[in-house]
Chain A
């Protein structure tokens, strides 16, 4: 071996060592500097904008609640007006342009619309919706809400405590609402009347339904209606002098215009989040969180925790699916076999325009 061959071999060995060093070093450097992007699709305009804006605030608050993290995180917000078609467009943009690794959605329609897509793309999808079938048999999809069975149980217990025997159902034909109605009828059919009284989501004239309920001797209404519908229905009930109890599951949360007409009435909804969360929210945004805000906070914290522990989406999805007693602001959170995190349902009463939990 002559001198120049030795030199060539020496240079090649140094080059190989350098390449091996930088190749092994390179990707981890890239991972730590490139933020992990989490898409958040919310109704930031439209009917449910007040919920979407508060949810956005909560997501930001959740991200900021972590101190120094191994990875950096970026939340990318998109507006879907709770319209499934727009959710799909927003999802495609988030996947193709922003290269997100996880996505959050609100409401059953948007959740159902992109669950199969996120499952196919292996992007972790957290839905916040009352339809618990969204996550079923989809390892990358999860859902955080109150189980309709929990709400139904709490509602029927309270109704019986109040001595109600003929509760007239006025129900909007919407996926999440139907899930609650079915759970109620499964729990106890005997105390409900007008069980098949479904109304289109755009319907605002409830007069004939109201008079049918009155004619059948209803002692209460169970109003499970969308925003705007509830205001119209309550106004028409009052105008028609049908003076019976007005109750609901969740709907009172979403229709601020109806609240002045609902003083003293009760409904079933999610339990209040922790005092710490409400205080931090108030301090940062000078307002109160809205329904679902605390769920969003918990979901973002769960996702960041999962990505801190696991490098791949498969690993993070597995971590979430096996999660037990995660310390959330909505309680100790565990994921069930269908990918759902179930929260507690409580009875709240409207007192001086505020929702007060009935202990």
Chain B
């Protein structure tokens, strides 16, 4: 087996996972201007909601995926209504919002561990059931293909919505200048709430798909979040296209980076790339 096609595919798969996480993160950051650390745990909420309905209660697969995404969206919306909106109304600093989101992350992670135990669990019923595709000697599974297609479709859909719909225009207005958006009559809190719903739904889907690929545990959110944040920064924080490109850049850097050295260096490569960007191109691949 030639190693290159598989390395390329591994990089694309990793990039697609990072892209899904970064999409929601960037969308929320672009509108609210704060690093929403609870985004990582929202992915975990989606994955465990699927585990409960799809595996424990054995409900229909697609219905369970939908419920998982919906619960992630509701939890994300709830966090905004209960925590971030009151803080924004009190003109809290972005640092206060960041700390609050870290608190929400920790609390939700602990609740999930209490409800479902901290034990590693799988979402698949039978690993051998899924289809395997061979592309130029490299192998990609059905789940990984779905991750890749979802990443592309959601990015495309977000770009369309932000560019061509009234909601998208209002979102961009809030993103550019929240005070000015208020003056022209945009209900900014409503827009931000909707952004939280959309961003959290994407995170929920990411959690479910990652769970199908590698399994789930309550602490998985931090790893996903860190990669999402790195991707957002190297892509251009708040920029959806940049995040998408950054995700694949990171996927390729990590997988080709460990070709000749130990896999333990993967995280060092990711953070090394982040430092290089912060030093030499802090605005990221694409400026906001």
Contact = CB atoms under 8 A, between A and B. Distances in A.
B139 A240 contact: yes
A46 interface: yes
Contact-residue bracket for chain A: 35 or more
Nearest to A202: B223
Contact of B127 (A197, A215, A235, A240): A235
B1 A207 contact: no
Interface in A216-239: 227-228, 231-232, 235-236, 238-239
A208 B217 CA distance: 22
B131 to A, nearest CB: 10
Given A46-B118, A47-B119, A211-B3, A203 B266 contact: yes
A49 interface: yes
Interface in A182-204: 196-200, 202-204
Interface in B239-288: 255, 258-259, 262-264, 266-267
B6 A240 contact: yes
A137 interface: no
Contact of A238 (B10, B14, B127): B127
Contacts of B139: 239-241
A212 interface: yes
B287 to A, nearest CB: 31
Contacts of B6: 207, 211, 240
A208 to B, nearest CB: 5
A267 B119 CA distance: 23
Contact of B3 (A45, A212, A228, A236): A212
Nearest to A216: B3
B263 A45 contact: no
A211 B10 contact: yes
Contacts of B217: 47, 228
B263 A211 contact: no
Interface residues of B, number: 34
Interface string A231-261: 1100110111100000000000001010001
B228 to A, nearest CB: 15
Nearest to B1: A214
B60 interface: no
A257 B122 CA distance: 8
Contacts of B215: 204, 228, 231-232, 235, 257
B258 A207 contact: no
B10 A231 contact: no
B197 interface: no
A173 B263 CA distance: 11
Contacts of B14: 205
Interface in B67-106: none
A342 to B, nearest CB: 30
B186 interface: no
Contacts of B263: 197-199, 203, 206, 208-209
Interface of A: 45-47, 49-50, 81, 173, 196-200, 202-209, 211-212, 214-215, 227-228, 231-232, 235-236, 238-241, 255, 257, 261
Given A46-B113, A200-B264, 19 more contacts: A49-B118, A197-B264, A199-B264, A200-B266, A203-B263, A204-B214, A205-B14, A209-B263, A211-B10, A215-B3, A231-B215, A235-B122, A235-B214, A235-B215, A236-B214, A240-B6, A257-B120, A257-B122, A261-B127
10 A-B pairs with the lowest CB-CB distances in the bound complex, closest first: A228-B120, A204-B214, A46-B118, A198-B264, A207-B10, A215-B3, A211-B6, A232-B214, A199-B263, A209-B263
Interface of B: 1, 3, 6-7, 10, 13-14, 113, 117-122, 124, 127-128, 130, 132, 139, 141, 214-215, 217, 219, 223, 255, 258-259, 262-264, 266-267
